[in-house]
Structure 1
Amino acid sequence: MAAGLEGRPARLLLAEDNKVNRLLLTRNLEIQGHQVTCAENGRVALELLQREPFDLLLLDMEMPELDGFGLLERLRADRQLRDLPVIITSALEGLAHVVRCIELGAEDYLPKPVNPVLLKARIGSSLEKKRLRDQQKELIRRFATREVAEDLQDSGFSLGGRHVQGTVMFADIRGFTRMVDTQAPEESIELLNTYYTLMFDAISGQGGVVNQMIGDGLMAIFGAPLPLAQPARAAARAAQDMLELIQLYNAERAAEGKAPIAIGIGIASGAMIAGYTGTQQRATYTCIGSTVNLAARLEAHTKQTAFSVLLDAPTAQALVPEFRTEELGPLAFKGLAEPVPTFALLL
């Protein structure tokens, strides 16, 4: 049995319009231990690729309905399929054809009749590259949100930023430091893990992206890296969901004889600079600017009020008439030159 991906046989798709070639290549590949599905032209191959997962495509270039060049172009334009390894098996001669296939994303180009030993080696190499790419994607998904992972896949990684309009949220657990000093380390870590699980669900459920976690605090962005319709409303709905989940979690804590927890949330909307900051070796996706600073100040100020969620004026204005807010008047915040009109989100 050939070495596949994650201990399983590799699933290969063979796109070839010549029936004899299909039969002979399929037999050769199955002897190597692969699972082979055949398509008689590029159109059928594309439909199969969009419907089922495959590890590699063996592609003839001269086919009816949709030829190999056309299929390569369609694959390159598809986010889900652009990284699929493709090995060309073709009778087309000439360096120009080879170059065009490579430019369109093909891994390799083997002339017909295909040497079976060479084909086996090229398939093995391509599958190993796919395994490494899959591991890289999994690491990105594990340590970045779906939106950031998609941004990396679409535009690649480069340090720098761009101007965006969006909404920023800061949140943390009230009195967490005192709790840490009075309970076992395992209990503190378990509390944080549960807290982040609940908050991530509420925020991502409304299209937000959690981009920073520092102790018991988090920062979330609504509207970057991917655009989001009505980011202020999405952030407000996320805040409501967060508080509801904390209420349900406190009921469980009460049943276990544990003290309830409370959170404070600050939300601000406006212009920001979003992008990847750090170095080529270690970077993070974040937003910077006065909007971000204000959201952090609003969250900190919840400790001095009876309200769990504080908003700036642009956010409050964007919530009308779906949400109820209460104007608290202009408040002075550290680091800000002028008092800021501040509102509370009424729950």
Structure 2
Amino acid sequence: MAEPDPPLARLLVADDNKVNRLLLTRGLELQGHSVSCAENGRIALDMLRREPFDLLLLDIEMPEMDGFQVLEQLTADPKLRDLPVIVTSSLEGLDNIVRCIELGAEDYLPKPVNAVLLKARIGASLEKKRLRDQQKELVRRFATSEVAQDLEQSGFALGGRHVRGSVMFSDIRGFTALVESQPPEETIELLNAYYALMFDAINDHGGVVNQMIGDGLMAIFGAPLPMTDHGVAAVRAALEMVERVELLNTRRLAVDKPAIRIGVGIATGELVAGYTGTQKRATYTCIGDTVNLAARLEEHTKLAQRTILIDPATCAALGGRIPVDLLGAVALRGKALPVEVYAVAGRPAPCA
């Protein structure tokens, strides 16, 4: 025996009139939809927050919470504001229709509802939802979860805001020579394995990787979502990155491939973070002296022959929880004055 086709969509009908609910439900089920009902706006909101629905058919005049109040609640809820809503009401007046549309309703159909028109409106609304869901999935696939969450909560707008955070730069030492010594396929395989390990370590500590250039990456801790102890999180992520590289090297040496080493620079301070680019193509990034300092510290790891270098602000954030070595004041490229530099993973040292 063939199994029945899955429902076209899961719909919620919110109407205080029992006869209206029953008739509307029967018609929608005949179209192939799965239908649930709520006898007022408050129950409808509770159901929407508890279970997934594809579309809401909403009456306006209901006890406890009317349709206008439901629309206001949906608009204020980031998880529900994209839910398609079709208002079905006997309430007359252009002002009421306009208010519903302004509050986010897809459409307004007067009662008694024309079944053919309702079917067309539902089809169009579900198609819009499908396209929005596809767009969200693409954002989740090609952006970090934090950036995706920021887009859902705040929307997209070019520009930046001042935040306090920590920035990390990291790259593979001697990568150019390594690339020249092996086939391109091995380089791609190495980078895929390397980035998988590094991303996981950074994400585990709340960081966001926002740039990849060849073997180098840039990560932000404390934006787009605020974070307490972002400096500590960045250093712990760096230590975990080093541990994972060591594990990767164990596998590489076992098949006669050269070990790799990384250098990491971390700085903490004020940043300007936001979306840069154009309306058609943009990326989430941050700029400022803190970013430049982190990049210079990563460069200096080669000369210092130390794996993780941090600035005084990051060292102060550690509060002695992670051992560091004071390397002294260093003249870094692009900095007018020497900077006190600390190396992570040495004997404990007081922070200046």
Partner of 1:191: 190
How many aligned residue pairs are there? 342
Partner of 1:279: 278
- Alignment of structure 1 residues 27-46 onto 2, 5 Å: 27-46=26-45
Higher mean C-alpha deviation, range 113-122 or range 143-152 = 143-152
Partner of 1:167: 166
Supply the distance in 2 between the matched residues of 1:280 and 1:14 (Cα, whole angstroms): 37
C-alpha contact (below 8 Å) 2:266/2:294 kept by paired residues: yes
Partner of 1:56: 55
Q: What do you get for the CA RMSD once the two structures are aligned?
A: 1.7
C-alpha contact (below 8 Å) 2:7/2:34 kept by paired residues: no
Supply the distance in 2 between the matched residues of 1:16 and 1:36 (Cα, whole angstroms): 13
SS of the residue corresponding to residue 162 of structure 1 reads strand
* 1:184 CA drift (Å): 2.0
Supply the distance in 1 between the matched residues of 2:195 and 2:61 (Cα, whole angstroms): 53
- Alignment of structure 1 residues 256-295 onto 2, 5 Å: 256-295=255-294
Unaligned runs of 5+ in 2: 347-352
SS of the residue corresponding to residue 264 of structure 1 reads strand
Supply the distance in 2 between the matched residues of 1:56 and 1:153 (Cα, whole angstroms): 19
Supply the distance in 1 between the matched residues of 2:13 and 2:24 (Cα, whole angstroms): 8
Letter in 1 for 2:279: Q
Query: Hey, which bits of structure 1, 4+ residues long, moved more than 6 A?
Result: none
* 1:304 CA drift (Å): 2.0
Partner of 2:144: 145
Q: Deviations over 1:7-53 (max 9, x none)?
A: 96211111122221111111111111111122222222212211221
* 1:75 CA drift (Å): 1.1
Scaled by the length of structure 2, the TM-score of the pair is 0.93
Higher mean C-alpha deviation, range 27-36 or range 110-119 = 27-36
* 1:224 CA drift (Å): 1.4
Q: Deviations over 1:221-268 (max 9, x none)?
A: 111122111211111111122122222222222333322222111000
Partner of 2:308: 309
Partner of 1:334: 333
SS of the residue corresponding to residue 50 of structure 1 reads helix
Supply the distance in 1 between the matched residues of 2:205 and 2:133 (Cα, whole angstroms): 28
Partner of 2:80: 81
Supply the distance in 2 between the matched residues of 1:226 and 1:41 (Cα, whole angstroms): 36
**1:47 to 1:257, Cα distance in 2 relative to 1, 3 A:** farther
Partner of 1:110: 109
Partner of 2:201: 202
C-alpha contact (below 8 Å) 2:211/2:218 kept by paired residues: yes
* 1:286 CA drift (Å): 1.0
SS of the residue corresponding to residue 87 of structure 1 reads strand
C-alpha contact (below 8 Å) 2:7/2:32 kept by paired residues: no
Supply the distance in 1 between the matched residues of 2:273 and 2:7 (Cα, whole angstroms): 41
